[in-house]
Amino acid sequence: MTSLELASGQSIARTGWQTRALYALFFLSGFPALIYQLSWQRSLFLIFGVNIESVTIVVTAFMVGLGFGSLAGGWFSKRDGVPILTAIAAIEFLTAAFGVVSLRIFDEAGNFTAGLSLPETAIVSFALVVIPTMLMGATLPLLVEHVARRSRNVGNAVGTLYFVNTLGAGFACFLCAFFLFPFLGLTGSIDVAVAINAAVGLAAIVAQKFAAHKSDAVARVLEQASPGARLAFSFPLVLLLTAVGGFISLSYEIVFFRTIAFATGSSPAAFALMLGVFLLGIAFGSREAGDHCRALNQTDAMRRLVSGLIVAAALGTAFLPVLGYFAWLDSQILALATPIIFVIARAWGSLLPYFAALAIAPDREAGMRTALLYLANILGSASGSVFTGFVLMNYFGIGAIAAMLVVATVVFALMLGDRVAVPHAAKMQRAALAVGIGIVASLVVPLNAHEALTKLQWKGAPYARPLTDILENRNGIITVTDDGIVYGDGMYDGRFNTDLKHDTNGIVRAYALSLFHAAPRDVLMIGLSSGSWAQVIAHDPDVQSLTIVEINPGYVSLIKSRPEVASLLKNPKVRIITDDGRRWLRANPDRRFDAVVSNTTWHFRASVTNLLSVEFLRLARRHLNAGGIVFYNTTESDRVQRTGCSIFPYGARFTNHVVLSDTPIDWNFSRWKQKLETYRIDGQPIFDLARQKDRAVLDELISWQTSLAPESAGVRNRPIEPCPDLLRRTAGLAIVTDDNMGSEWLHFIGVEY
């Protein structure tokens, strides 16, 4: 045995444990990275809003930060004499330090950035997350350079490292959905992430003390002993292919999210679970590819990659039709979607290790080249997020986009398959199969989309009605039934009705504005939906201006064709603004209103807490004129009702809404009766007082004043419940804050309090 072989064998034995320690630490570091991402995104959405523009900017800022971090890590990996475990410890400690102050930094930034333009929002978003995301992104190329120079296999190193880190991130999604967010909130979740960072950093320091002192020399010995293999692809070509692969895979994630959001009514926990499954698919695809890079030759590795992509294309074709067919599973539809998402993600997760093996030599440039490869993947993914979520979703339905992605996958697979050295007949068979899948997807998926979405909305219910309208844009999916019920992302969102005598949508709440306020001249309304509420309020003779802030402009398109509300769009009193309601209030601190009205959606849907929390109510309070009121939907949530009554000194529950004020509310039923008797919409009276049935409805409404009598205290189902009674009834319930996020995460796991 030569001295070189002896040195190599002894050194590998001494450094093997260090590599395993790196894998374990990298796995654990995936947990806080994902916790931070979900928590920081939520915090930034509070500042910039949850409209699609802000969401796209924030998500892209995270990705770009990771990409720049990978470049920094690649550059750092070329420096000699820096212990890898020490570098990891430094990264973990610095990330933890930022985590400790992160929510405070974001909150302070929000106080100075209200009303930013889109470019300014993008710059601030990037500035807020660039340091921690760069730290996170720097780790992979550092570790690849370290591991690859010992294993002599870049593909295996990338596959294994990407596997362990993404696996940790995937498990963190489940941890957030089932424990951290429901029970600890944002601050508690950040505390857990900080603790994990600190633990990983300490473990890295301890491990470094036992590390082999000759590790870098060993790497140089191994580098001399084992010449790199001839590379099959040019590096620029691999960068391009990696970027395209990232584009397609992230676009698939957006389609999955849109479909699952529609099927589950925009449940945030369902999204977290979908993301977790997607990440696990990426992780196991990376691990499988890493193993193949070590055991297979290049031809076999490419053959497996192409075969996996063809399978992914087939499942992408089946995804929407299959979910529609089995929509009767209701909430269990996630169990059916999970394996499809996992397999598709696994195919795309194998891309990075395979390409690393095909285009990166295991030398001192491995870290930098891996950084460039990772950057290309991230830039492609960010482009997919922006183009698919921001552009394609505004012009094409989910079925058409799913078909486009299948065709893109097929073309991608054919390009790779053309370079595989297999018999011509086998190559043609695989090409024919891929083309066939693309043709089927193009013909079947878009045509089936309407039926699939209809089934997913009704989930097999026997009372299902036909959908006359399905409007898809980048903000979501709006559907309308043949009897005028409006749904937003699969959940009830209103009805085209302003008839108080046939009150099928609780429209009495909109007519009640003059019951609470003598002269509501300037009104702000957050949320448009069917336009029925806005139509009623705009025709109140005391209202001089109605400002409506709606996040989804698709509702305006629907209103144009509905005779009950179409005149709203021509009413000179009305101004409709497309924006996030909370963001708009922050951006217009000088605007004041006599009433802020919010007919919000269900209290357990994604991001609805932004309009139900203590922080939002305090923001709305600052926009009230003297004697002004806040009037908003609680959707029967005791916690939401208690929150409102805890913040304002005066108020009451009115049906399922609460009305709140800093001054005593003037419950003037005589004024209300007079207003209702003369109320007209588009020239037509609401009540015909010559008809006994109309007078009976009016008398019934006026009789609600008995709910305010002391003897009515304790009557749960009365239409009006003053705040003192409500607070006694809901004693012990936690109020809703931005930090605890109300019932958004609790509802999914069956916990309500």
CA neighbor of 581 nearest in space, from 661, 527, 659: 527
User: For residues 158 and 230, which has the higher predicted lDDT (pLDDT)?
Assistant: 158
Contact 412, 313 (CB under 8 A): no
Q: How far is CA 600 from the centre of its chain?
A: 19
- Quick: pLDDT tens for 602-654: 999 989 999 999 999 999 999 999 999 999 999 999 999 999 999 999 999 99
pTM of the model: 0.90
Q: Which two tokens stand for residue 422?
A: 């297999």
Query: Rounded distance, CA 731 to CA 199, Å?
Result: 40
How buried is 42 (Cβ within 10 angstroms: 0-12 exposed, 13-18 middle, 19+ buried)?
buried
In order of start, what are the domains of the chain with their CATH numbers?
1-226 (1.20.1250.20), 229-464 (1.20.1250), 513-749 (3.40.50.150)
Please check the confidence at residue 63 and state whether its pLDDT lies above 60: yes
Question: Which residue's structure tokens are 């004041």?
Answer: 592
Q: DSSP label at 662? A: S
Please check the confidence at residue 161 and state whether its pLDDT lies above 90: no
CA 367 → CA 94, 177, 375, distances in Å? 21, 34, 12
Query: Rounded distance, CA 441 to CA 435, Å?
Result: 10
User: For residues 64 and 541, which has the higher predicted lDDT (pLDDT)?
Assistant: 541
Q: Which residue type sits at 674? A: Q
Q: How does DSSP assign 328-396, residue by residue?
A: GGGGGHHHHHHHHHHHHHHHHHTHHHHHHHHH--SSTTHHHHHHHHHHHHHHHHHHHHHIIIIIIHHHS
Question: Which residue's structure tokens are 């010449």?
Answer: 227
CA 145 → CA 63, 80, 139, 227, distances in Å? 22, 12, 10, 16
pLDDT at 438: 92
Contact 479, 469 (CB under 8 A): yes
Report the percent of the chain where pLDDT is more than 70. 92
pLDDT at 296: 65
Please check the confidence at residue 552 and state whether its pLDDT lies above 50: yes
Please check the confidence at residue 216 and state whether its pLDDT lies above 70: no
Report the percent of the chain where pLDDT is more than 90. 60
pLDDT at 25: 84
User: For residues 225 and 127, which has the higher predicted lDDT (pLDDT)?
Assistant: 127
Task: For the beta carbon of residue 425, count every other beta carbon within 10 angstroms.
Answer: 8
10: confidence class by pLDDT, cuts 50, 70, 90: very low
pLDDT at 117: 75
CA 96 → CA 36, 133, 195, distances in Å? 10, 12, 8
Q: Which two tokens stand for residue 108?
A: 């302070």
Contact 158, 371 (CB under 8 A): no
Please check the confidence at residue 43 and state whether its pLDDT lies above 50: yes
Q: Which residue type sits at 222? A: L
pLDDT at 509: 96
> End-to-end CA distance of the chain, in Å?
72
User: For residues 585 and 370, which has the higher predicted lDDT (pLDDT)?
Assistant: 585
How buried is 247 (Cβ within 10 angstroms: 0-12 exposed, 13-18 middle, 19+ buried)?
buried
